Amino acid sequence: MHKFVIRFIYTSASWARMLNVTDDRVATVAALLEHFEGRLESMYWEVETASSYVIADLPDSASAAAAILVATKTGAFKEVRVHEVLTQEQLHDVVNLARSAEEVYRPPGQAAVERPDI
């Protein structure tokens, strides 16, 4: 599973609707993520910026994108940001994978750096 942090910034109209109807948004988000074979870890509300933060596990980026498409079709959000985050172990694997390419990747323009006379 991949871990995602998703920030939804609500419109003022959405906050106004929350005052009138107090749906269980956590249950709704959890059900949506479960549909994509994911899991809601937690959901937090930031009142200052009218945002919510969803921390979720999803199988892949395509599942995350599909969940965002479904959630945002209502126009209830001014902005949505999705960040895939890595554990320390995953970061270690990424670093090792990057190191494996050091012998085959030569940055464009590197010759000019190595030979200042060019």
What pLDDT digit, counting tens, does each position of 30-53 carry? 999 999 999 999 999 998 888 999
**DSSP 8-class letter at 59:** S
Across the chain, where does the E strand assignment appear?
Answer: 2-10, 39-46, 51-58, 77-85
**pLDDT confidence tier of residue 116, bands split at 50, 70 and 90:** low
pLDDT digits (tens, 9 = 90+) for 72-107: 998 889 999 999 999 999 999 999 999 998 888 877
CA distance 38 to 8: 18
Q: pLDDT value at position 7?
A: 96
Whole-structure pTM value: 0.80
Report how far apart the first and last C-alpha atoms of the chain are (Å, whole number).
48
Which domains, and CATH codes, for the chain? 2-86 (3.30.70.1110)
Q: pLDDT value at position 82?
A: 95
